Amino acid sequence: MSALLTATGMTIWRGDNLLVDAVDVCVPPGSIVQIQGTNGSGKTTLLKALIGLAEYDEGEIYWRGQPVRKVRDELYASLLYLGHRAGISAGLTPLENLLALCPELSAGNQGLDGARDGARYRITQVLDELGIADRIDLPCAALSAGQQRRISLARLRLQSALLWVLDEPLTSLDANGYAWVKAQISRHVSAGGAVMFTTHQPLSFDPIPVQTILLSDNG
Ligand SMILES: Nc1ncnc2c1ncn2[C@@H]1O[C@H](COP(=O)(O)OP(=O)(O)OP(=O)(O)O)[C@@H](O)[C@H]1O
């Protein structure tokens, strides 16, 4: 099956540092790609460059075989990106944050009680899986770092997207959270989706193979 995202010769300088040196990337449907490296090795920079959120010096990026600059909207329509930070508003509740972050839930008929109740029901179910359903109406500022991370990760169950791009998705999580994220990734790729993420440590998803892009300290 043809690849979703591919890139050839990705080269990224930051100041005098060659962070990423002629790296090739291929993300087919049903695959897991991990970008691994130490602190400061360029993982986030490469991940963001691949989806148009950071500049790069050399390389070609393609979405489904088309130069990405011509089909960027198609890439974004198929993308779920979770950044390094939780990306939620501290003054809003988990429910409010997730309604805002999940277009499928917030679009259209939020003025109608039935639609709002349906969205709340779906969000409550996912937060229950994550062990934080009882926090649904508290301001996120009152939640721990790991709980805030879980709010952000709930999007993996609430949004529908072919390609997940996750920057250090296991940050701040305990063993249960870690297992939940791994299960979501396995489920997604088993259903034909693809996942690309950054990590400090290599992760295993047996029996699903993982492709590793290893960045060295200075690219
Ligand atoms: N806009 C920029 N200008 C100058 N240096 C930058 C810029 N962006 C990133 N860097 C540098 O590039 C290096 C790589 O940063 P990056 O965030 O990609 O690393 P990382 O591998 O994701 O690190 P960590 O594991 O700590 O999150 C760092 O030394 C950082 O300071």
Q: What is the pLDDT of residue 1?
A: 61
Say if residue 71 is in the same domain as residue 178: yes
Among residues 140, 159, 178, which one ends one of the domains? 159
Q: Are residues 165 and 67 in the same domain?
A: yes
Give the Å distances, CA to CA, from 190 to 8, 116, 162: 26, 31, 12
Are 113 and 182 members of one domain? no
Would you state the pLDDT for residue 111? 57
**69 and 22: one domain?**
yes
Residue 100 CA to ligand 1 center (angstroms) comes to 29
Any domain includes 83: no
Count of the separate structural domains present in the chain: 2
Judge contact between 68 and 191, C-beta under 8 A: no
Residue 217's pLDDT is what?
Answer: 76
Residue showing tokens 């937060």? 127
Atom index in ligand 1 nearest the CA of residue 167 equals 22
CA of 217 to the centre of ligand 1 (A): 11
Nearest CA to ligand 1 atom 26: 39
Domain of residue 217, CATH code: 3.40.50.300
**Which residue CA neighbors atom 11 of ligand 1 most closely?**
14
Instruction: Kindly state the helix (H) or strand (E) to which residue 1 belongs, with its residue range.
Output: none
The interface predicted TM-score (ipTM) is 0.95
- Give buried/exposed letters for 6-24 (b at 16+ CB in 10 A, else e): bbeebbbeeeeebbbbebe
Q: Out of 45, 53, 197, 214, give the residue to mutate to test ligand 1, the one with the largest number of ligand atoms within 8 Å of its CB.
A: 45
Please give the structure tokens belonging to residue 47: 């991940």
As a whole number of angstroms, the distance between CA 61 and CA 191 comes to: 25
Q: In terms of domains, do 103 and 57 share one?
A: no
* Ligand 1 atom 10, closest CA: 14
- Which two structure tokens, joined as six digits, stand for 79? 């993308």
pLDDT of residue 2: 86
Say yes or no: 38 and 12 in one domain: yes
Burial of 142 (0-12, 13-18, 19+ CB in 10 A): exposed
Kindly report the protein residue whose alpha carbon is nearest to atom 31 of ligand 1: 40
The reported pLDDT for the residue numbered 219 is 43
Longest Cα–Cα distance of the chain, Å, equals 57
Instruction: For residue 207, say if its preceding peptide bond is cis, omega within 30 degrees of 0.
Output: yes
Domain that holds residue 58: 1-78+161-219
Q: Which residue's alpha carbon is at the smallest distance from atom 24 of ligand 1?
A: 39
Please list, residue by residue across 51-88, b when 16 or more beta carbons sit within 10 angstroms of its beta carbon and e when fewer do: bbeeebeebebbbeeeebeeeeeebeebbbbbeeebbb
Q: How far is CA 188 from the centre of its chain?
A: 12
pTM: 0.92
C-alpha 148 – ligand 1 centre gap (Å): 23
211, amino acid identity? Q
For residues 69 and 117, membership in a common domain is answered with no
pLDDT of residue 34: 97
pLDDT averaged per 10 residues in sequence order, the chain, 219 residues: 92 95 96 95 97 96 96 96 89 91 63 69 94 94 94 94 96 92 97 96 92 83
Is 32 in contact with 189 (CB distance < 8 Å)?
A: yes
Whether residue 72 is found in the same domain as residue 167: yes
Question: Of 137, 159, 181, which residue is a domain's last?
Answer: 159
3 with 72, same domain: the answer is yes
Calculate how far, in angstroms, residue 173's C-alpha sits from the geometric centre of ligand 1: 22
Q: Is 199 inside any structural domain?
A: yes
Kindly state whether residues 1 and 48 are assigned to the same domain.
yes
Q: Point out the ligand 1 atom lying closest to the alpha carbon of residue 45.
A: 18
Picking from 125, 140, 159, the residue at the C-terminal end of a domain is 159
The amino acid present at 21, given as its one-letter code, is: D
- The answer as to whether 210 is a domain residue is yes
- The answer to whether position 129 is within a domain reads yes
Pocket of ligand 1 (CB under 6 A): 14-15, 19, 37, 39-45
Residue 190 lies in a domain: yes
Check whether residue 53 and residue 101 sit in a common domain.
Answer: no
Give yes or no: residues 180 and 217 share one domain.
Answer: yes
